[in-house]
Amino acid sequence: MSVMRLDKFLADAGAGTRSDVKIKIKKGQVTLNGKTVGKSDIKINPDSDEVCLDGKKLIYNEFEYFMLNKPQGVVSATTDAKDKTVIELITEAKRRDLFPVGRLDKDTEGLLIITNDGKLANRLLAPGKHVEKTYFAIIAGEVTEDTVLRFAEGIDIGDDKPTAPAKLKLKGTYDKEEITKITYNNVSDGNNSGNDTIISEVEITITEGRYHQIKRMFEAVGMRVIYLKRLSMGNLSLDDSLKPGEYRMLTDEEVKLLVGNF
């Protein structure tokens, strides 16, 4: 790894903002290879130099990877003047260059990767890579084998060209009397007007990321998405133990799974 400024190392290691760490350095709270330092612009080698804050050795990771179960009501952005962002949900000490890999709609839940690895993010999102993304959805309308075939052929959603073929799997259908038995988080009367006679549960896998793509695909065949949750992206699946709004760091094995898509 190339050399870097001491204050950047500290900030990236979760010691605070650049301003915070400069104050800590001036106060003598930082040592470099056992000696107290007083300047923030000293160049260090993260691979060979030992940096301690208040006597505790700091470990530097060039990249960080988090798995977030995105809840409804937050936006997939780094900053937003109106709504809470997914980055704000990462509450532990964190570096300032984190960003979400792609976007989930504000009312969509599920797997979202948070990282600072731009190269990996670009690969996961590049149209030419055809990385699969699988969702669970509750649909107002009756999904049939004909619907499955239409999705497999690609759907005209009003763009310059139809969508790429999508894999649609029917999980179950419910008539009007059975609809009240379906209980999912955040599936409210506002989403289900009560006028729907048939509700379908599906899994859908797409390889693109067009604007509101899944919603527009079902609208194009006369149906409506009531609830949407992303289950997987590439080889990585959402940890079932994570409740909406919860997150954890990816394991080394899970990072390898993501890289294994290429």
Q: Catalytic residue positions?
A: 105
With contact defined as beta carbons under 8 Å apart, do 140 and 123 qualify? Answer: no
Cα 210 from Cα 139, distance rounded (Å): 19
Helix H or strand E encompassing 170: strand 167-175
CB burial class (10 A; 0-12, 13-18, 19+) of residue 21? buried
Two tokens, residue 213: 């793509």
Q: Which helix (H) or strand (E) element contains residue 236? A: strand 236-237
| φ, ψ of residue 108 in degrees (nearest 5) | -105, 140
Distances (CA, A) of 152 to 155, 163, 208: 8, 10, 14
